[in-house]
Amino acid sequence: GQNIDQPTEMTATEGAIVQINCTYQTSGFNGLFWYQQHAGEAPTFLSYNVLDGLEEKGRFSSFLSRSKGYSYLLLKELQMKDSASYLCAVGLKTGANNLFFGTGTRLTVIP
Amino acid sequence: ETGVTQTPRHLVMGMTNKKSLKCEQHLGHNAMYWYKQSAKKPLELMFVYSLEERVENNSVPSRFSPECPNSSHLFLHLHTLQPEDSALYLCASSQDRAQPQHFGDGTRLSIL
């Protein structure tokens, strides 16, 4: 079966750096995705890692270690608008469920 | 982003009603998806259409019935729903099943 673990909630200060961790157990791994979802809105795609290492995209970076079943999303220079849920999702090569989501981490940015 | 459009945004219906949710994508994608998002639960995949071929999650009750008339449109037909079906229903599309998915804003469904 598939399993994803990420913290339920985190709080960080405006201007700071925050790291949201995600660990997974899966078969047929085909990459790891991060999505951002503001309350009442659609999830929006942030990043995709299929190989080990760090992918940087502006203030956001995502890291993957396939051997450890571990990923993190790093948010720098936090802004109030970064308050949202961050969803870790694993891509699967086979089966009907080709994208398996975690429950998400609700990040609150405080002044 | 207006690439994936869902209607209606909100729907309240009784358990004996029949209604349909609509999704349209303007991204030229070949795969479309229905997800259910309940409070404090992960997104649950309900149905996938890839090149108009349906792949479904076997745990979805038969009171949910999808329809994909072409690669740009997707419907979810609802009948005799239960209160536990109240949730946010999200549509998504992707170029193919390995690519990132783009989501619509969802339909907030409430069953009375």
Whether A99 sits inside 8 A of B4 (CB atoms) is no
Of B41, B33, B12, residue with least CA distance to B102: B33
pLDDT tens digits for B78-109? Answer: 999 999 999 999 999 999 888 889 999 999 99
pLDDT tens digits for B6-57? Answer: 999 999 998 888 999 999 999 999 999 999 999 888 899 899 998 767 777 7
Rounded distance between C-alpha atoms, residue A26 and residue A74, angstroms: 23
Interface of B with A in 93-112 (CB under 8 A): 97-98, 100-106
Rounded distance between C-alpha atoms, residue B60 and residue B47, angstroms: 8
In the DSSP assignment, the letter for residue B99 is S
Rounded distance between C-alpha atoms, residue B69 and residue A52, angstroms: 40
pLDDT at site A97: 59
Rounded distance between C-alpha atoms, residue A82 and residue B90, angstroms: 22
Whether A45 sits inside 8 A of B57 (CB atoms) is no
Of the residues A38, A88, A98, the best mutation for testing chain B's interface (the one with the most B CB atoms within 10 Å of its CB) is A98
Rounded distance between C-alpha atoms, residue B43 and residue A102, angstroms: 8
pLDDT tens digits for B51-73? Answer: 767 777 778 899 999 999 998 99
| Residues whose CB falls within 8 Å of the CB of residue A16, separated by 6 or more in sequence, listed in order | A78
Nearest to B45 among A43, A97, A103 (CB): A97
